[in-house]
Structure 1
Amino acid sequence: MAPGLPIAMDRPHFIGIGGAGMSGIAKILAQRGARVAGSDAKESATAEALRAHGATVHIGHAAGHLADDASCVVVSSAIRQDNPELARAAELGIPVVHRSDALAALMEGLRPIAVAGTHGKTTTTSMLAVSLTELGARPSYAIGGDLDAPGSNALHGEGEIFVAEADESDRSFHKYAPEVAIVLNVELDHHANYASMDEIYESFETFAGKIVPGGTLVISADHEGARELTRRVTGVKTVTYGEAEDADVRVLKIVPQGLKSEVTAVLDGRELTFAVSVPGRHYALNAVAALAAGVALGLPADELAPALAAYTGVKRRLQLKGEEAGVQVIDSYAHHPTEMTADLEAMRGAAGDDRRILVVFQPHLFSRTQELGKEMGQALALADASVVLDIYPAREDPIPGITSALIIEAARAAGADVTAVHDKADIPEVVAGMAKPGDLVLTMGAGDVTDLGPLILDRLSQK
């Protein structure tokens, strides 16, 4: 039987309940019978989905939103110390719990698979959640994005497996004790929290050290950062995967088939060929990581491999938003240069030589732009033309001298056709003027650039 409620989480209050990670935990607690409440900055489909599960969701942050009898207050690293609900919790003596501690508590007594890495966590976690469900394993899962509808980022299942996205950005993945851990790649990111690659490696080493005795680390054999981590990690069973010749689970070939691909891999000396229902080499490799993790947990490869084809995408990960006037609009969450390059290469492979790729890019975080702005601009050179918006600040304050101009200059130096647009309201008109029948338009970034897709489609419909 799946566990019930963690101690002191029967009446939780979530500050920022609509966030991708927070909403998933709130949903699982509600499904386990907790009286869930919380607040968020604005109304959303996610908030409405939580209300459908019985949660009370307030819009805006105010001390009065916190019930006096709340058993705990759940926060993420994005919540500022001057939040009025946090201050009220201190007055009332209500315990404050970090999101990662709440998620760790939900996994207790189950068999967790924790998916980590600088890129690809949401996709790989989703692939496992969908394929395990397809196999009838009834997993619980917590994902950093919605599968097919608002609120579908999490589920309390009746089975013994719990699949969770493990966030390295604030070192919160150190809280988990997985039976199987996946590390997809290791690169320098989250510059406000990590000053060097050595700090990144140390953080991932700590994560790998949390794997339970007898557990398994599944890690890429292709990414140099992951290979270096493999050299550093000791005392844990390790299974490598990828196209490298020395990979334990070796990918022999990835054959693009439009917006899908076919993968052939060697596992335990046997060849397996299976379909991946999303485009791009990086997504095919994510599927192989999911396969290796499932096998490490004891699932039969012959059944899990075909089940992976049931995964057809997650919101914001190369998600088709629609088509108007012969132009397809696709949404991409990519915000790191490696992710941007991977998604643009995937789209180039799907589009062929006859279709143009146009990008509307919104940089995410001043610190990331300061460190990686040049590389972002170089990635945009893979598109036929790009529009670059101002930086989406998220949780950060501006850094003097750090603007989107850094990216635009680097893109133009790389030969890219780039236009700066400072007002998001102008984007639909700008894109409609650029786009021609057959073009692919990508709205790209981790901020609110995703809201532009429907507006662009509406303007295209008027052409």
Structure 2
Amino acid sequence: MKGPILFLGIGGSGMSSLAHMAIDLQIPVVGYDKKKSDITDYLVERGVKLYHSIGEIPLDGIQMVVYSSAINDKHKDVFNRIQNLNIPLKHRSEFMHLLVSNQKSISVAGSHGKTSTTTMVSQILTEVGLDPTIMIGGDTSLLQKRGGKMGKGDYAVYESDESDGTFLRHKANIRLLTNIDNDHLDYYRTRERLEEAFLDYMGFGSPGEVVLFVGDPGIKSVLEIHYRNLTFHNELHLNLLVTKSHTNEEWFSYFLSQFQKQITVVLYEVKENQLYFQLENQSYTLELPYPGVHYLTNGLVALTCAYRIGISPSQSSQILSRYIGVKRRQEILGVWNEVTVIDDYGHHPTEIKMVIQSLKDKIKNKGKLHVIFQPHRYTRTKLLLEDLAKSLLGADFVFLLPIYSAGENPMEGITSNRFLPYLTGSQTTMLDGNIREDLEQIKSHLNKGDLLLCLGAGNVRDWGMELVS
């Protein structure tokens, strides 16, 4: 490609990852994002010409424009300019598939755990010397401040985002699915449509490998509903990760009887921060440096994928015992007056419950768990209000920030105050969004040995960073 590629919304985690991959291929990159950030600063360091006003971008010589779903109707003028100049316009999912078209692709999907599981698969493949191409929707030290890189090996590992339905445009050679939960219903409208999209992603009528964590109720439910109508491609191999209790299910018996030669079964159980699993009549143990059952089950999905491409479970388990993690996933920001301050991206009820429970298990009776929670998006808050509020009940103290809009317009009657009726009986304080004034309130509740968790997908991390600085 002779001229530069223009990335609209280049500061987003997925878009920045793709931009880094283009830079690895020595393709010139121009970017637009209305906000300056550490992400955009690093892109500039790597040679990106960055614009913060979309009207200032010169389109002469641009060979292709890549956009994300964050670029919407508010940007009609620039889309019209691009189309009038006959410049190819690609959604980020289309561009990613162009990048990995010459490699064997491994996609990771699910309502939760995509980033962690993609990082785990990537770490395994990297440490055994396979040099994969990697696209992760988060910041991990595996890739040194960026979420994407082009590798020279046979495999490409990428996170497959279901938020706007574009994850169905490409059927990867190996498709991993961690779970199905009620998220992005602003796009799908109903649970049924969401489940249909994930069923399509599994691609039973397509060749390749599918790894399903059936310990998840959402995946199990979809299999129960649809199993007699599924058509297996004769080149598809299904990997079912199940507990012993699932082996008595009618759908499980049906799969085994109908598709014996196309199925690998992984039996597992979790006890005290360790996962025990059985594969091909061999027993193994998985233990990770991060607390929480969800990390262990994500690890099981990752090592099952690795097993199916020839990496032994014992080797994968050893690599994951030093799993490096992802920024904003139980990330320790520092310590203030012997209070550990942690940041986590969790913004859906299931994620919130998981991280609160894992940290409560970690702290046990040594101190209290204080949570600064920042609701993310008005649409999500409206749809999941009661579940979001109740997911916070495991914390000892809850500090509620105003809703982080993520570019959405405010919705009448949807504010953080709406959480209060569901939090009766718990110690809850409303914050006004002024970091220094908020922290004066928060500090008065903190004692030696406590944990302070900054929770949400917006900028709640800033409160923790200010405290530890």
Give yes or no for TM over 0.5.
Answer: yes
Q: Give the letter aligned to residue 56 of structure 2.
A: G
Q: Which residue of 1 aligns with 2:39?
A: 46
Q: Deviations over 1:405-433 (max 9, x none)?
A: 22222122xx2211111223232222212
Q: Which residue of 2 aligns with 1:12?
A: 5
Q: Work out the CA distance in 1 between the residues paired with 2:39 and 2:96.
A: 19
User: Is contact 1:388-1:408 (8 Å) kept?
Assistant: no
Q: Work out the CA distance in 1 between the residues paired with 2:2 and 2:170.
A: 18
Please state if 1:62 is matched with 2:51: no
Q: Which residue of 1 aligns with 2:451?
A: 440
Q: Which residue of 2 aligns with 1:323?
A: 335
1:395 Cα deviation after fit = 3.2
1:51 Cα deviation after fit = 2.4
Q: Which residue of 2 aligns with 1:422?
A: 432
Q: Which residue of 1 aligns with 2:257?
A: none
1:87 Cα deviation after fit = 4.1
Q: Secondary structure at the match of 2:319?
A: helix
Fraction of identical pairs, as percent: 31
User: Is contact 1:331-1:450 (8 Å) kept?
Assistant: yes
Q: Which residue of 2 aligns with 1:366?
A: 378
Match of residue 465, structure 2, among 447, 450, 454? 454
Q: Secondary structure at the match of 1:251?
A: strand
Q: Which residue of 2 aligns with 1:112?
A: 105
Please state if 1:223 is matched with 2:216: yes
1:360 Cα deviation after fit = 0.4
Greater alpha carbon shift after TM alignment, 229-238 vs 138-147: 229-238
Q: Secondary structure at the match of 2:371?
A: strand
Query: 1:171-250 alignment to 2 at 5 Å?
Result: 171-209=165-203, 212-213=206-207, 215-231=208-224, 232=226, 233-235=230-232, 236-246=236-246, 248-250=265-267
Q: Work out the CA distance in 1 between the residues paired with 2:466 and 2:276.
A: 40
Q: Work out the CA distance in 2 between the residues paired with 1:12 and 1:244.
A: 51
Please state if 1:168 is matched with 2:162: yes
Q: Work out the CA distance in 2 between the residues paired with 1:150 and 1:47.
A: 14
Return 5+ residue gaps in structure 2 as ranges.
248-264
User: Is contact 1:362-1:449 (8 Å) kept?
Assistant: yes
Greater alpha carbon shift after TM alignment, 102-111 vs 420-429: 420-429
Q: Deviations over 1:383-402 (max 9, x none)?
A: 00010111111132222211
Q: Secondary structure at the match of 2:285?
A: strand
- Pair 1:70–1:402, CA change in 2 (3 A): same
1:211 Cα deviation after fit = 7.9
- Pair 1:87–1:420, CA change in 2 (3 A): farther
1:48 Cα deviation after fit = 2.1
Q: Work out the CA distance in 2 between the residues paired with 1:269 and 1:278.
A: 28
Q: Deviations over 1:168-212 (max 9, x none)?
A: 110111122211111111112112201111101111122122885
Number of residues paired by the alignment?
442
User: Is contact 1:11-1:36 (8 Å) kept?
Assistant: yes
Q: Give the letter aligned to residue 191 of structure 2.
A: M
Q: Work out the CA distance in 2 between the residues paired with 1:437 and 1:234.
A: 58
Q: Work out the CA distance in 1 between the residues paired with 2:222 and 2:191.
A: 11
Q: Which residue of 2 aligns with 1:395?
A: 407
Please state if 1:82 is matched with 2:92: no
Q: Which residue of 2 aligns with 1:252?
A: 269
Q: Which residue of 2 aligns with 1:265?
A: 277
Please state if 1:277 is matched with 2:269: no
Q: Work out the CA distance in 1 between the residues paired with 2:133 and 2:332.
A: 27
Q: Work out the CA distance in 1 between the residues paired with 2:17 and 2:286.
A: 30
User: Is contact 1:183-1:219 (8 Å) kept?
Assistant: yes
Q: Give the letter aligned to residue 390 of structure 2.
A: Q
1:229 Cα deviation after fit = 2.6
User: Is contact 1:443-1:449 (8 Å) kept?
Assistant: yes
Q: Which residue of 2 aligns with 1:3?
A: none
Q: Secondary structure at the match of 1:141?
A: strand
Match of residue 152, structure 1, among 146, 149, 152? 146
Q: Work out the CA distance in 2 between the residues paired with 1:52 and 1:455.
A: 26
- Pair 1:243–1:49, CA change in 2 (3 A): farther
1:9 Cα deviation after fit = 8.8
Q: Work out the CA distance in 1 between the residues paired with 2:287 and 2:149.
A: 25
- Pair 1:168–1:102, CA change in 2 (3 A): same
Please state if 1:72 is matched with 2:73: no
Q: Give the letter aligned to residue 78 of structure 1.
A: A
1:244 Cα deviation after fit = 4.8
Q: Which residue of 1 aligns with 2:390?
A: 378
Q: Which residue of 1 aligns with 2:251?
A: none
Please, what is the CA RMSD of the aligned residues?
A: 1.9
Q: Work out the CA distance in 2 between the residues paired with 1:9 and 1:86.
A: 22
User: Is contact 1:21-1:143 (8 Å) kept?
Assistant: yes
User: Is contact 1:123-1:313 (8 Å) kept?
Assistant: yes
Q: Work out the CA distance in 1 between the residues paired with 2:83 and 2:74.
A: 11
User: Is contact 2:240-2:266 (8 Å) kept?
Assistant: yes
Q: Which residue of 2 aligns with 1:461?
A: none
Q: Deviations over 1:288-310 (max 9, x none)?
A: 01011111233222322211223
